[in-house]
Amino acid sequence: MSLVNYLVLSGILFSIGSIAVLTRRNAIVAFMGVELMLNAANLTLVTFGRLHGDLHGQVIAFFVMVVAAAEVVIGLAIIVSIFRTRGSASIDDANLLKS
Amino acid sequence: MNQFVPPEIDWAALSPVLIVLGIAVIGVLVEAFVPARVRRATQVVLAVVGVGGALVAVAWRWVVVQADGPTALVAGALREDAPALLAQAILLVCAFVGLLVIADRSSGEDAFAPSGAAIPGSAYEAEARRAGLVQTEVFPLTMFAIGGMLVFPAAADLLTLFIALEVLSLPLYLLAGLARRRRLLSQEASLKYFLLGAFSSAFFLMGLALLYGYSGSVRFDAVATAVPATSGMDGMLLAGVLLVIVGLLFKVGAVPFHSWVPDVYQGAPTPVTGFMAACTKIAAFAALLRFFYVVAPGLQWDLTVVLWIVAIITMVVGTVLAVVQTDMKRMLAYSSVAHAGFVLLGVIALVPSGISSVLFYLLAYGLATVGAFGLLTLVRERDADGNVTGEALHLSQWAGLGRRHPVLAVSFTLFLISFAGIPLTGGFIGKFAVFGAAIEGGAWPLVVVAVLASAAAAFFYVRVIVLMFFTEPTGTDADPGTTVVRTEGLTAVAVVVCAIGTVVLGVVPGPILDLAANATKFML
């Protein structure tokens, strides 16, 4: 199977992720969209690593996984603290800050 | 075929970053092992010593680099050259004064929630407040953020830049949500900052992946050499470069990636706002400079159009929206958006003097920003019982402040006229240098827009000055409504340093400009 297919797949995943961030109102789901985008980038990196025949792509993907894990910790902490305050994790409810 | 070659690491050259991150790790240990009574004092001393020590280390490395020339560190992942060191020095100066404001306790309490995990308004929070709990984790968090920022100007590959981006962002997301008062706003700011920040770093990462696919490496220099050598993949190259720039422009707060700026600046604890407004911008612009000056010359024609549009709308939108704000912090937030547009001029110029002028501008802007936000922390509201509560941020609450508190009002005026770019302040010299570089780079239409925008921007700065000095105060003398609290002294020191810096940069800018003139070339 051609490696280009993987790139197309990662492009599709990246788009789904960014659409999820932009349209979903639940902070957790929006955050899952971000994770999907990061993983799409990982797939791209690994595929390009295979295309170029060097290991950098895979090593970078490992770094990204660690960063994504750290981001999950911070993100869930923030979302949980907001949820406990308001009883909802909806982004639309977080509208106190306005011009 | 893939034999492991251990990289040679020049530990001495890494010392500024190592000091700051080492202190951050020690700070985490202090949280675990030092008794609560002395924890805060320990953290403050550690942080101040850490940033001061890193500043000394940067000065030492500057001397070494001036003598021996720039070097590549850690197998080429970092560059130790004059622009990187100068940016780090500027960053550390602003971080130092920012840290003093963060550490200050005015009217006996700091700006942070006693227990960040407590639900706002709950019995547990009230209890934590009564027990006098202090949120000392802010110091290690700040140090981690500074550590990430220090790597930013020196990073010479996209992976290092990405990791540094996260190391600087993640602590800031948390710090934004820790305000002692108006906690709902603070938590909301934290959520917005986090979601949009994570979104933009995902774009940055995709850009990294595409550039890796294009050139087979994530090194700036390898990408730059691949630009003329590779044909037929221009789409991937452009998409990659644009996505990376989007990630950096988000951190800078340029339109159309600015939507987080006013909300986060307003919601975050004011000392943190000052720190991140100054330092994040310095770090992000330094990284943007390196990326742009190393990678972009090969694709100038494609990128210039995009960046011109971004710069123009950033200046115009920032200025126009700042005029209509009634909240001090939001006004300063939009003004910082407009400043991002001015600094972009120096980046777009693509001439050697662009680098030094941008760094000078960032120093002047950073000092004025930390000073102005430091003063905002002192002007407070009083409730019906006469207790001091949150900050008085509505413009009308500042009416007549200059009559009751002339020193505060005069220093605030100084920072405002530096923002406005009026002569005898650092802001003027900075604007002059950046505009000069832009003209040298042939971007004179941008300079015309920038001059018009600065003129318009002067309106809302002067409006605050008029409000402070020439408007009747709203309250009576017995109950002025707005009050100025006494500081422990640290904010006062920070404001004095910022004020002196602003004036010195404006009156005798020669030495600093000469210093900056050494930093006009990035090592490839």
Residues B315 and B324: their CA atoms lie apart, in Å, by: 15
Residues B243 and B222: their CA atoms lie apart, in Å, by: 18
* Residue B278 in domain: yes
pLDDT in tens, B311-366: 999 999 999 999 999 999 999 999 999 999 999 999 998 888 999 999 999 999 99
Mutate to test the interface with B, among A31, A90, A97, A98 (most CBs of B within 10 A): A97
Is B194–A57 a contact, with Cβ atoms under 8 angstroms apart?
no
pLDDT in tens, B46-70: 999 999 999 999 999 999 999 988 9
Q: For tokens 């970092």, what's the residue?
A: B78
* Residue B89 in domain: yes
Please name each of the domains of chain A with its CATH number: 4-86 (1.10.287.3510)
Residues B333 and B345: their CA atoms lie apart, in Å, by: 19
Q: Give the side-chain half-sphere CA count within 13 A for B208.
A: 33
Interface of B with A in 170-209 (CB under 8 A): 170, 173-174, 177, 183-185, 187-192, 194-195, 198-199, 202-203, 205-206, 208-209
Length of chain B: 524
Domain housing B166:
15-517
- In sequence order, the 6+-apart residues with CB closer than 8 A to the CB of B256 are B310, B313
Nearest CA in chain A to B214: A48
Is it the case that residue A88 has pLDDT exceeding 90?
Answer: no
* Residue B235 in domain: yes
pLDDT in tens, B201-239: 999 999 999 999 999 999 999 999 888 887 778 888 999
Q: Is A53 helix (H, G, I), strand (E, B) or coil?
A: coil
Mean pLDDT calculated for residue range A38-47: 96
The predicted pLDDT at position B324 comes to 92
- Which one of A42, A75, A84 has the shortest CB-CB distance to B194? A75
The predicted pLDDT at position B393 comes to 87
Q: Is A24 helix (H, G, I), strand (E, B) or coil?
A: coil
Distance (Å) from the C-alpha of residue B163 to the closest C-alpha of chain A?
7
Is B202–A34 a contact, with Cβ atoms under 8 angstroms apart?
yes
- Which one of A17, A52, A78 has the shortest CB-CB distance to B173? A78
The predicted pLDDT at position A35 comes to 95
Is B189–A97 a contact, with Cβ atoms under 8 angstroms apart?
yes
Mutate to test the interface with A, among B124, B141, B206, B230 (most CBs of A within 10 A): B206
Handedness of CA B20, B26, B32, B38 (dihedral sign): negative
Is A41–B120 a contact, with Cβ atoms under 8 angstroms apart?
no
> Is the CB of B67 inside 8 Å of chain A's CB atoms?
no
User: E strands, B354-425, where?
Assistant: 379-382, 388-391
* Residue B5 in domain: no
* Residue B6 in domain: no
* Residue B279 in domain: yes
Residues B66 and B161: their CA atoms lie apart, in Å, by: 25
The predicted pLDDT at position B54 comes to 97
From the CB of residue B1, how many other CB atoms can be counted at a distance below 10 Å?
5
Helices (H) and strands (E) in chain B, counts: 20, 5
Is it the case that residue A99 has pLDDT exceeding 60?
Answer: no
Regions of chain B short of the pLDDT cut 50:
none
Distance (Å) from the C-alpha of residue A54 to the closest C-alpha of chain B?
8
- In sequence order, the 6+-apart residues with CB closer than 8 A to the CB of A17 are A33, A34, A35, A36, A37, A40, B202
> Is the CB of B218 inside 8 Å of chain A's CB atoms?
yes
Distance (Å) from the C-alpha of residue B417 to the closest C-alpha of chain A?
24
- Which one of A70, A81, A91 has the shortest CB-CB distance to B166? A70
- Within B324-351, where are the H helices? 328-349
Distance (Å) from the C-alpha of residue B230 to the closest C-alpha of chain A?
14
The predicted pLDDT at position A85 comes to 87
> Is the CB of B390 inside 8 Å of chain A's CB atoms?
no
Is B187–A54 a contact, with Cβ atoms under 8 angstroms apart?
no
pLDDT in tens, A10-38: 999 999 999 999 998 899 999 999 999 99
> What ipTM was predicted for this assembly?
0.95
Q: Write the CA distances from B298 to B230, B241, B293, B311, integer angstroms.
A: 11, 12, 10, 21
* Residue B432 in domain: yes
Residues B316 and B456: their CA atoms lie apart, in Å, by: 9
Number of domains in chain B: 1
Is A48–B213 a contact, with Cβ atoms under 8 angstroms apart?
yes
Which positions in chain B touch A64 (Cβ < 8 Å)? 162, 205
The predicted pLDDT at position A87 comes to 82
